[in-house]
Structure 1
Amino acid sequence: MSSAFRRDFVWGFGRALALPAWIVGFSLLGVGSLARDAGHPIGAAVLSTILIWAAPAQLILYGTIASGGLLVAAALAVGLSAIRLLPMVLSIWPYLRRPGQPLWLQLLMAHFVAATSWIDATRHLPGMEPDRRVPYYLGFASACVAVSSTMTALGFLLVGALPGPMAAGLLCLTPLYFMIALVGSARNAPDWLAIALGVGLVPVAQITVGRDFDLLATGLVGGTAAYLLGRWLPRRAA
């Protein structure tokens, strides 16, 4: 590992520790308590954070186990829930993929994609030199996973110490951070339009497709409409 790689890795690690890693980490406290309620040992709880790396998917896993569901059904549900991350991976992949990268590194970088790491990547990777992007991204994502794994263990040990509403509220930290970061990074009319449509279409989606698919429908319809209008408005103005 070169000194330049270590420098950029540490830079990303430190930037994550400044705030983002703690936001996602505290949301994993509730996952640790759910794992204990489901009868899993602390090691399995921490491993679920490292391997799944998605609090909603972990909630699905432990909710299914707690209700007596089959592990096969839980695995299928967790896999399907991860589909929402595919557009995030594709959107930042041009900045991370380099000629000659080994397959294991590409899989690791794709695995690290989550709301927090994606937001930071979209804001900072485009302005970086290509050789600095991968170590920075790996450092940032590693810090998030490390803090989240620690918080999962802490939540496992503190089960019963946190009031139920507080534990549930901690799970909302990541989506709140995601929303605030999206607003903060919006730069043009299509960005603002996508956010507005995403928020405004939620009630309609819940009525038409139900709570199980409202997020998917809202993102698909709102994002597509914002993209098309973003291409149409400049032509109209011209």
Structure 2
Amino acid sequence: MYFLQGMRKAVSVPALVLFASYLGFGAVLHGVGFPLGAGVASTLLVWALPAQLILIGGLAAGTALPAIALAVGLSSMRLLPMVVSVAPYMRGPRRSLFWELVCAHFVAMTVWLEGLRMLPHLPGEARVPFTLGLGLSLIGVSCLGTVAGYTVAGEVPGWVAAGLLLLTPLSFTVLMVRNAVSATDWLALAAGLILMPLTLHLEGGLDLMISGIGGGTLAFIGGRLLERRR
């Protein structure tokens, strides 16, 4: 029952945005001559568009595999704080490391936001099935988008494919605004929006890490100070 509830929750605007984004990804695969099966496998196993684009771009350019693996790993490190924050809510009454790891694989922005919003209100025995239903459905939608984008790649102009890829961060921003409740949430959003343009041209590709960690830290401190004044 809870598995089906998770699947129903996946039928949403974020799922449509994921489908559209992976349409763009499928078109990119076709454009660089990457096999469709390998592209779908990357969606199943990686399921993070920035890391997948790094993987595909590196392979298409002939970059050494260890360098590609390192770049993909570093790109995916951004998901670690999300996993750490939502993982306690994914545990059932009987802890199972295997199922916790499976649930952790599904944690990207959509599952993270919906998990933080929904899982605390579900009984313990419902959390793993709900996460599995939600995660599997969203990955399935992403795989369908990959196949569809690859199939119609000749009909999709390059600028349209690039635009579709940008739908994902825009959708995530809207979701974070929707889920923002406390002063810390709003401060974190504001700090990220302010710091990101300021750090965009820093060397080393650390702009996202600096704006995320720096903005989040400032928001946490600011939120605590505001709470003490109340």
- Same fold at TM > 0.5: yes
Q: Which of 166, 190, 204 is 1:172 aligned to?
A: 166
Q: Does 1:94 align with 2:61?
A: no
Q: Does 1:132 align with 2:126?
A: yes
TM-score by length of 2: 0.94
- Contact 2:92 2:127 (8 Å CA) reproduced: no
- The amino acid that maps onto 1:114 is A
Return the alpha-carbon distance in structure 2 between the equivalents of residues 12 and 206 of structure 1. 37
Return the alpha-carbon distance in structure 2 between the equivalents of residues 184 and 157 of structure 1. 34
The CA deviation at 1:36 is 2.7
Return the alpha-carbon distance in structure 2 between the equivalents of residues 66 and 218 of structure 1. 30
Superposition CA RMSD, Å: 1.6
- Contact 2:119 2:127 (8 Å CA) reproduced: yes
- Contact 2:93 2:125 (8 Å CA) reproduced: no
Q: Which of 183, 192, 213 is 2:206 aligned to?
A: 213
Q: Which of 30, 42, 48 is 2:42 aligned to?
A: 48
Q: Mapping of 1:27-176 within 5 angstroms?
A: 27-98=21-92, 100-176=94-170
TM-score by length of 1: 0.91
- The amino acid that maps onto 1:152 is T
Runs of 4+ in 1 over 6 A off after TM superposition: none
- Contact 1:194 1:223 (8 Å CA) reproduced: yes
Q: Deviations for 1:118-160, whole angstroms, at most 9, x for unmatched residues?
A: 1111111122222212111111111100010011111111122
Return the alpha-carbon distance in structure 2 between the equivalents of residues 136 and 111 of structure 1. 14
Q: Does 1:21 align with 2:18?
A: no
Gapped runs of 5+ residues in structure 2? Answer: none
- The amino acid that maps onto 2:111 is S
- Contact 1:37 1:66 (8 Å CA) reproduced: no
Change (3 A) 1:28 1:211: farther
Return the alpha-carbon distance in structure 1 between the equivalents of residues 189 and 158 of structure 2. 31
Q: Percent identity?
A: 45
The CA deviation at 1:68 is 2.0
Corresponding position of 1:225: 218
- Contact 2:48 2:108 (8 Å CA) reproduced: yes
The CA deviation at 1:86 is 0.2
Query: What secondary structure is seen at the aligned counterpart in 2 of 1:53?
Result: coil
- Contact 1:29 1:154 (8 Å CA) reproduced: yes
Return the alpha-carbon distance in structure 1 between the equivalents of residues 12 and 80 of structure 2. 27
The CA deviation at 1:211 is 7.5
- The amino acid that maps onto 1:75 is A
Query: What secondary structure is seen at the aligned counterpart in 1 of 2:134?
Result: helix
Gapped runs of 5+ residues in structure 1? Answer: 1-6
Return the alpha-carbon distance in structure 2 between the equivalents of residues 23 and 14 of structure 1. 16
Q: Deviations for 1:185-215, whole angstroms, at most 9, x for unmatched residues?
A: 11121111110010011122124x3472111
